[in-house]
Amino acid sequence: MCALCSQAHDQMCMAKRWSGLLSGFKFLGKKRKIMKFLKRVLLALGLMSAVTVAHAETADQFVKQMSDNVVAALRANPGLKSGNAGAVGTYVDGNIMPHVNFRSMISRVVGPAWNSASAAEQNELMSESRRYLTRTYAGSLKGAAVNSIDVYPASGNEVRTRINTSNGAKMVTYRLENNGGWKVNDLSVAGVWLVQSYAGQFRPVVAKGGVPGLISYLKSKR
């Protein structure tokens, strides 16, 4: 076994992407279907988390290690399954954030306006996204029952998985990058990529008010 390592990064904005999915998926129709889809996305995010992970040589090894560890965490921590806000906040900060390149993702969602935003505005945008993620993730974990995760061999920088739950199977594809360590930079559920979906949701807001306008928009969703 390789030495265990822990990685940490300031990455929080995927939460907003999840919010954008709700609005972007008008074709899903009923609100109940949209919320069901969101829960799948958030669960998929959680399956990429772990406090410590053995060094992974390949993308699919990385996903496998993350998946095995989070299944164990969900079974061992009643606070996560009940959606306790404190437990979820700790879980998100310590386990989800280190393994997702949120800064890269939100910059692609926002587009050119990201580069013209000040460092303070970028950080505030990420902070607001983290708050939203924690609140939404708390609700999505209630009653979550993950039995197992099947991880398929990587195809380039993408890894397909099958999440087996008490409510059926969920097909999720992770798009990864490796710059000194594997990280998720996009996620697909049912063939829908999050960055593209959130760009469609939030760029009109950015076009009207820039990054400050998007920050205000997210604050209004608290």
The sheet with strand 182-189 has its strands ordered as 146-151, 158-165, 168-178, 182-189, 192-193
Read off the pLDDT band of 213 (50, 70, 90). very high
- The burial of 148, by beta-carbon neighbours within 10 Å (0-12 exposed, 13-18 middle, 19 or more buried), is given as exposed
Which residues are CB-contacts of 27 (< 8 A; sequence separation ≥ 6)? none
Average pLDDT over residues 179-204: 88
- The burial of 30, by beta-carbon neighbours within 10 Å (0-12 exposed, 13-18 middle, 19 or more buried), is given as exposed
DSSP state of 29: -
Domain 8-205 has CATH 2.40.50.140: no
Nearest to 20, CA basis, from 142, 140, 193, 183: 193
Which residues are CB-contacts of 171 (< 8 A; sequence separation ≥ 6)? 160, 161, 162, 163, 189, 190
Q: Which residue has the tokens 């000194």?
A: 180
Mean pLDDT, the chain, rounded, equals 76
Q: How far apart are CA 203 and CA 132, in angstroms?
A: 18
Q: Report pLDDT digits (tens) over 94-138.
A: 777 788 888 998 999 999 999 999 999 999 999 887 776 666 656
Q: How far apart are CA 141 and CA 145, in angstroms?
A: 9
SS3 169: strand
Q: Report pLDDT digits (tens) over 48-68.
A: 554 445 566 899 998 888 788
Which residues are CB-contacts of 57 (< 8 A; sequence separation ≥ 6)? none
What pLDDT sits at residue 143?
Answer: 62
Q: Which residue has the tokens 């299944």?
A: 71
- The burial of 145, by beta-carbon neighbours within 10 Å (0-12 exposed, 13-18 middle, 19 or more buried), is given as exposed
> Is this model's pTM higher than 0.85 or not?
no
Give yes or no for residue 28 having a pLDDT over 50: no
Q: Which residue has the tokens 């310590």?
A: 94
